[in-house]
């Protein structure tokens, strides 16, 4: 008589399963396992939570070593690993593959070497497929990050990796993947690049990168070259420009006029004073409360910090499930509005735990503190990227948002980019607030919104589609565009993504972007649809502009680029720019994501990647 016993175990029961396997095999050789692939997938998915690595690696090792057929079990594991790590769902949720890759060194030795031999050609095969230069990176982003992780783990030698990237950079049909691979390798393996690379290989890489001139790669190249300490001629990206090595300016009607770069010690400019420390990660946004002389800052650590005028922490506000990517204060109502992006650690373990939706937090000034007065959860949105409180008597604000839609094109959900106008007075509950108007004319991510101070009904937006649009809250559609008509029939203000906008008067509107330029516009030249040319075009260095903030004078602005901080005086036809005076400790200045003026616009706060708020005085 034969007895068939079937035992079903869950991932949580695997530690007990090892003893069960040994007991059964002591009785018979006819022990079989089924659905191992599904079991492996459940285990691997838990690695989204980095704290699960030890447990998952032990349980995977148990399954790999305690089953009868190693080859069959390994094949099941390989299939499960690929299914989880390269799933489209991870890309849509912007989940890094790196936590999953950390499992590989924890595998038993034989399984580790076999996984390396299996994974490297699989990743490279996908990355070397022929694609157009402007291909969607969602197709291969996970594979590019996996490649970089393999280099980081020393499964692929750093010199061999660079040789592969150089080869792919030289071919237009593989350039898009190569640039992405290099960007992720710089991000994950910078120490290996700077310490372990053959100098001739690095030189070959730099040369190959110099020959990449497509606008689509400008942000990547700026990041790579800045991280590696490389530079390129100013004409290296976006066509040919006859410019000086320090800065250039072209003015409508006289394209040969140069900008004065003032380096004299007696010049009026920004001087480093001190720094505030308190954040534990990158600072993305700040706002200044003129009524109470307080600075509010927020960033990826999920904490809002309120600073006194002498740099003391007056208050800390924990955003719990989100972090701030943009914020603004409506001074008339003492309302602080903050765009919330979900903290990655809130994804938890397991494939069914999703990130919370983006949101807008509303805080009110109560005494010297800020008290939360509601959270608007944007369940139908992927991102609320930027926010601006409207001026005047209206308790209103505008946002840039990316919406999920129910329609499907090309096999996946569609995303709509919208500028949304909200009036807080339309509902008694902030959590139920709905847009009064939604403008859908941008074709890509909305990166910034700005007021137009001469008219409280108007506001502007900039986008990754390279356009600057003007809106009137009383009108259903765009009322004007800055820029010129391109061959593709679109009006574009810049050659690539716009990063920031600011305005102070009808003839002093500034936009800046990844094309390294700061453009000045005059509202009086605006046309409804045909666009208009900029009054001037300013290039401070050879890197992308992160932020412009008008202040320090009637016609001046602070400008932050990837490489530095500048004070620019636009009062004359020949603007004068000066680099900010450095701190005494010689620290590097750059990568300021936000700039805010205070004290009658004589004091500048600058914050970004180094987690500090740097304070500059204007003198």
Burial class (CB in 10 A: 0-12, 13-18, 19+), 476: exposed
The average confidence (pLDDT) of the chain is 85
Within a domain: 137: yes
361-370 pLDDT, tens digit per residue, is 999 999 889 9
Within a domain: 324: no
Distance CA 409, CA 40 (A): 32
Q: Which residues, at least 6 apart from 330, have a Cβ–Cβ distance to it below 8 Å?
A: 337, 389, 390, 395, 397
Q: How far is CA 241 from the centre of its chain?
A: 28
Instruction: Indicate the number of domains in the chain.
Output: 1
Question: Residue 296: is its pLDDT beyond 90?
Answer: yes
Helix (H) or strand (E) holding 306: strand 303-307
Q: Are 363 and 342 in contact (CB under 8 A)?
A: no
328-381 pLDDT, tens digit per residue, is 999 989 999 999 999 876 444 444 457 899 999 999 999 889 999 999 999 999
Distance CA 394, CA 392 (A): 6
Within a domain: 556: no
What percentage of residues in the chain have a pLDDT greater than 90? Answer: 58
Question: Residue 257: is its pLDDT beyond 60?
Answer: no
Long-range CB pairs of 347-353 (<8 Å, 24+ gap) are 347/48, 347/49, 347/93, 347/95, 348/48, 348/49, 349/45, 349/46, 349/47, 349/48, 349/49, 349/52, 350/42, 350/45, 350/46, 350/48, 351/45, 351/89, 353/48
Q: Are 551 and 557 in contact (CB under 8 A)?
A: yes
For 184-227, the DSSP string reads HHHHHHHHHHHHHS-HHHHHHHHHHHHT---GGGHHHHHHHHHH
Within a domain: 98: yes
Q: Picking from 168-172, 340-344, 447-451, which range would have the lowest pLDDT averaged per residue?
A: 340-344
| Helix intervals (H) in 216-363 | 218-228
Distance CA 560, CA 169 (A): 30
User: Residue 11: helix, strand or coil by DSSP?
Assistant: helix
Distance CA 261, CA 575 (A): 9
pLDDT at 511 (0 to 100)? 97
Burial class (CB in 10 A: 0-12, 13-18, 19+), 314: middle
Within a domain: 595: no
pLDDT at 259 (0 to 100)? 53
Whole domain around residue 165: which residue ranges? 11-231
pTM comes to 0.62
Q: Picking from 197-201, 225-229, 406-410, 451-455, which range would have the lowest pLDDT averaged per residue?
A: 406-410
pLDDT at 19 (0 to 100)? 58
Within a domain: 411: no
Q: What is the CATH number of the domain that holds 104?
A: 1.25.40.180
Within a domain: 88: yes
Within a domain: 114: yes
Pull the structure tokens for residue 258: 């140069």
Q: Which residues, at least 6 apart from 579, have a Cβ–Cβ distance to it below 8 Å?
A: 263, 269, 564, 565, 566
Question: Residue 284: is its pLDDT beyond 70?
Answer: yes
pLDDT at 314 (0 to 100)? 95
- Of the candidates 1, 14, 71, 67, which has an alpha carbon nearest to the alpha carbon of residue 44? 14
Distance CA 498, CA 547 (A): 10
Q: Are 363 and 372 in contact (CB under 8 A)?
A: yes
pLDDT at 10 (0 to 100)? 62
Q: Are 38 and 54 in contact (CB under 8 A)?
A: no
265-277 pLDDT, tens digit per residue, is 446 899 999 999 9
Q: Are 341 and 322 in contact (CB under 8 A)?
A: yes
Question: Residue 177: is its pLDDT beyond 90?
Answer: yes
27-85 pLDDT, tens digit per residue, is 555 555 656 888 899 999 999 877 788 889 998 998 888 656 788 889 999 999 999 99
């Amino acid at each position: 008589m034969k007895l068939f016993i079937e035992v079903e175990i869950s991932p949580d029961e695997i530690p007990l399963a090892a003893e069960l396997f040994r007991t059964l095999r002591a009785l018979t050789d006819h022990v079989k396992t089924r659905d191992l692939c599904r079991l492996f997938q459940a285990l691997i998915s838990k690695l989204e939570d980095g704290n699960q690595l030890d447990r998952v690696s032990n349980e995977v090792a148990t399954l790999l070593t305690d089953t009868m057929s190693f080859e069959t079990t390994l094949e099941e594991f390989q299939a499960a690993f690929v299914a989880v790590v390269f799933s489209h769902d991870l890309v849509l949720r912007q989940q890094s593959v790196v936590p999953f890759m950390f499992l590989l060194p924890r595998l038993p030795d034989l399984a580790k070497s076999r996984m390396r031999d299996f994974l490297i050609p699989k990743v490279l095969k996908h990355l070397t497929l022929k694609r157009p230069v402007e291909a969607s990176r969602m197709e291969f982003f996970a594979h590019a990050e996996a490649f970089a992780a393999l280099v980081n783990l020393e499964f692929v030698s750093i010199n061999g990796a660079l040789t592969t990237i150089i080869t792919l950079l030289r071919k237009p049909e593989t350039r898009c993947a190569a640039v992405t691979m290099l960007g992720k390798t710089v991000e994950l393996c910078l120490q290996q690049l700077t310490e372990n690379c053959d100098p001739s290989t690095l030189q070959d890489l730099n040369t190959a990168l110099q020959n990449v001139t497509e606008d689509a790669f400008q942000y990547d190249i700026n990041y790579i070259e800045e991280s590696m300490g490389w530079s390129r001629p100013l004409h290296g990206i976006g066509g040919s420009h006859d410019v000086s090595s320090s800065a250039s300016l072209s003015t409508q009607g006289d394209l040969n006029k140069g900008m004065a770069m003032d380096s004299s010690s007696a010049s009026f400019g920004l001087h480093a004073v001190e720094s505030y420390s308190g954040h534990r990660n990158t600072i993305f946004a700040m706002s200044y409360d003129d009524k109470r002389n307080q600075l509010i800052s927020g960033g990826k650590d999920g904490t809002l910090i309120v600073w006194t005028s002498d740099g003391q922490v007056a208050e800390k506000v924990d955003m719990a499930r989100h972090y701030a990517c943009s914020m603004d204060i409506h001074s008339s109502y003492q309302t602080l509005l903050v765009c919330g992006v979900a903290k990655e650690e809130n994804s938890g373990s397991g494939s069914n735990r999703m990130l919370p939706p983006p949101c807008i937090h509303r805080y009110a000034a109560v005494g010297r503190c800020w008290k939360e007065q509601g959270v608007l959860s944007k369940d139908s949105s992927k991102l609320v990227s930027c926010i601006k409180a409207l001026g005047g008597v209206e308790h209103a604000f505008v946002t840039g948002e990316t919406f999920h839609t129910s329609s499907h094109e090309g096999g996946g959900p569609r995303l709509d980019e919208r500028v949304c106008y909200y009036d807080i007075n339309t509902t008694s509950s902030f959590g139920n607030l709905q847009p009064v108007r939604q403008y859908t004319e941008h074709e890509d991510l909305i990166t910034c919104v700005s007021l137009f101070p001469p008219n409280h009904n108007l506001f502007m937006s900039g986008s990754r589609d390279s356009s600057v649009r003007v809106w009137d809250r009383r009108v259903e559609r765009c009322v004007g565009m800055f820029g010129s008509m391109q061959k593709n029939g679109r009006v574009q203000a810049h050659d690539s993504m716009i990063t920031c906008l600011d305005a102070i008067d009808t003839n002093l509107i500034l936009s800046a972007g990844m094309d390294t330029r700061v453009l000045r516009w005059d509202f009086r030249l605006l046309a409804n649809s045909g666009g208009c040319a900029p009054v001037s075009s300013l290039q401070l260095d050879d890197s992308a502009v992160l932020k412009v903030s008008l202040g320090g004078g009637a016609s001046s602005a602070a400008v932050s680029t990837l490489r530095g901080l500048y004070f620019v005086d636009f009062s004359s036809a020949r603007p004068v720019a000066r680099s900010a005076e450095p701190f005494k400790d010689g620290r590097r200045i750059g990568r300021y994501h936000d700039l805010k003026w205070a004290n009658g616009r004589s004091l500048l706060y600058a914050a970004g990647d180094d987690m500090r708020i740097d304070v500059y005085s204007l003198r």
